[in-house]
Amino acid sequence: MKVAVFSTKPYDQKHLEAANQGQQELVFFDTHMSAQTAALAEGFDVVCCFVNDVLDDETITNLHHAGIKMIAMRCAGFNNIDLNKCRELGLPVARVPEYSPYAVAEHAVALIMDLNRNIHRAFNRVRENDYSLNGLLGFDMHGKTVGVIGTGKIGVAFAKIMHGFGCQIIASDPYQNPDMEALGTYVDRDELWQQADIISLHCPLMPATQHLINQNTIEKMKPGVMIINTSRGGLIDTKAVIDGLKSEKIGYLGLDVYEEEANLFFEDYSNDMLMDDIFARLLTFPNVVITGHQAFFTREALQAIARITIQNLSNFASGTMTEVRWIPETLAHQP
Ligand code: NAD
């Protein structure tokens, strides 16, 4: 099959080629997928896309007209793809639902520890020959209450690490996971907001979870709460969080994702002006640490993403549809 791989970075190409071993004809584009760039897929059988590609109604219609027969996502999330349109046009979508929950869970922990112990500030001070400790005071993780929103593969991997620190784990998820029940207790969402010292988001972005963290929910939280988002930017109303930081209701914010990240992340704009005023405001807080959607970025995760993507393509090519990692109807239609 001829596969057009969009949003390719050198590390994607390296891992996909190693996993492919010449099975499919892969052509790499560094361009993002959008309604405007979909025409590049003319003459290909399949497109392979990533988290910030825009696969909306118009793009999917254009891909269909270009003769594309399948979309292979090389990520777990599927908030950037209009699944209803794909279904309407009979265009199957595969993804990589699990590649390394540890990669993302461990990055969430890295953000927590960095914020707690002010590593980002200490790093700069020591380089400036400044060894003063004023303003760097942290807290013991042991005994703190950690609220986990979404207890799937990543949420549970995260909860296990926090449990190892001696934290109390409380969780919220419409589906109770027995692995989580061994680590802590499920509580209702309001109780979680009220009790948690640290809140970490691990649920998908969908209409029901859009702006889950908003002015109303922030008001219910403990003063000085730490919020960590390694899931999807749209889970947080950024303006509300900025207000929460200014009023000191939010004590720490760790982000690997941002609601308007599609225009920023994965690219080098170091010679350009930052035009996003909301993002720029976030960067002014000493108690905010942001990484550019790198939680998945470990050697093991990249190898697994490439291996499973190639397997998805092979399964589609050989007609073994049952093994393609379709996005289950239940997940796509979750409230
Ligand atoms: P998963 O499907 O295993 O788990 C998601 C969990 O969220 C499920 O248990 C589901 O029931 C729960 N959920 C659904 N709706 C909810 C709601 N309203 N409230 C609370 N929980 C709800 O997925 P996963 O592999 O653990 O991944 C979680 C998310 O992490 C993905 O959706 C993706 O957005 C994000 N992710 C980020 C990166 C990164 O690099 N930053 C990488 C991979 C995944």
pLDDT band per the 50, 70, 90 thresholds, residue 320 = confident
Q: Are residues 253 and 316 located together in one domain of the fold? A: no
Under 8 Å between Cβ of 199 and 221: yes
Answer yes or no: do 117 and 95 share one domain.
no
In this structure, what token pair is assigned to residue 273?
């002006």
| pLDDT of 43 over the 70 cut | yes
Q: Which pLDDT score is estimated for 79? A: 85
User: Residue with the nearest Cα to atom 27 of ligand 1?
Assistant: 154
Tokens of 79: 């908030």
Mean pLDDT across 90-101: 91
Q: Are both 54 and 199 inside the same structural domain?
A: no
Q: Which segment of 46-60, 64-78, 173-187, 317-331 scores lowest on mean pLDDT?
A: 317-331
152 confidence band (pLDDT: 50, 70, 90):
very high
Candidates 37, 43, 75, 42; CA nearest to 56 is 37
pLDDT digits (tens, 9 = 90+) for 253-312: 999 999 999 989 999 999 999 999 999 999 999 999 999 999 999 999 999 999 999 999
- 278 with 205, same domain: the answer is yes
Q: What is the pLDDT of residue 205?
A: 93
pLDDT tens figures, 188-222: 999 999 999 999 999 999 999 999 999 999 999 99
ipTM: 0.99
Range of the domain at 125: 101-290
How many independent structural domains does the chain possess? 2
Cα 99 from Cα 307, distance rounded (Å)? 9
CATH number of the domain that 38 lies in? 3.40.50.720
Is pLDDT at 330 greater than 60 in this prediction? no
- My answer on whether 129 and 256 are in the same domain is yes
Ligand 1 atom at shortest distance from the alpha carbon of 151? 9
Is residue 232 part of the annotated active site? The answer reads yes
85/297 Cα distance (integer angstroms): 30
Q: Which of 15, 74, 107, 261 is an active site residue?
A: 261
Task: Indicate the pTM of the whole model.
Answer: 0.92
Q: Please state the atom number of ligand 1 nearest to the C-alpha of residue 154.
A: 26
261 is catalytic: yes
Q: How far is CA 10 from CA 16, 194, 299, in A?
A: 10, 44, 14
- The closest-lying atom of ligand 1 relative to the alpha carbon of residue 75 is 43
Q: Which two tokens stand for residue 43?
A: 């003459």
Residue in 12, 104, 106 to alter for ligand 1 test, most ligand atoms within 8 A of Cβ: 104
| Ligand 1 binding pocket, CB closer than 6 Å | 76-77, 98, 101, 104, 149-155, 172-175, 202-205, 208-209, 230-232, 256-257, 293, 295-296, 334
Residue 96 has pLDDT above 60, yes or no: yes
156 and 106 in one domain?
Answer: yes
pLDDT of residue 196: 98
The rounded mean pLDDT for the chain is: 94
- pLDDT, residue 78, reads 85
Span from the CA of 180 to the centroid of ligand 1 (angstroms): 14
Task: Please check whether residue 225 is in contact with residue 251, taking contact to mean a CB–CB distance below 8 angstroms.
Answer: yes
Distance CA 178, CA 142 (A): 24
Catalytic-residue membership of 127: no
- Beta-carbon contacts of residue 222 (< 8 Å; ≥ 6 apart): 194, 195, 196, 197
Residue 171 to residue 181: CA distance in whole angstroms:
9
Annotated catalytic residue, options 74, 232, 259, 325: 232
Residue with the nearest Cα to atom 9 of ligand 1?
A: 152
Q: Do 125 and 212 belong to one domain? A: yes
Q: CB neighbours of 14 closer than 8 A, spacing ≥ 6?
A: none
Asked whether residue 195 falls in the same domain as residue 74, the answer is: no
Residue 206 CA, closest ligand 1 atom number: 15
> What pLDDT is attached to residue 335?
32
Could you tell me the distance, in angstroms and rounded to a whole number, from the CA of residue 193 to the centre of ligand 1? 18
Environment class of 34 (CB within 10 Å of its CB; exposed 0-12, middle 13-18, buried 19+): middle
Task: Please indicate, yes or no, whether residues 253 and 232 belong to a single structural domain of this protein.
Answer: yes
Note whether 16 and 127 are same-domain residues: no
| pLDDT bucket at 97, cuts 50 / 70 / 90 | confident
Does residue 106 share a domain with residue 92?
no
Q: How would residue 328 be classed by pLDDT, with cut points 50, 70 and 90?
A: low
Does 283 lie in the same domain as 263?
A: yes
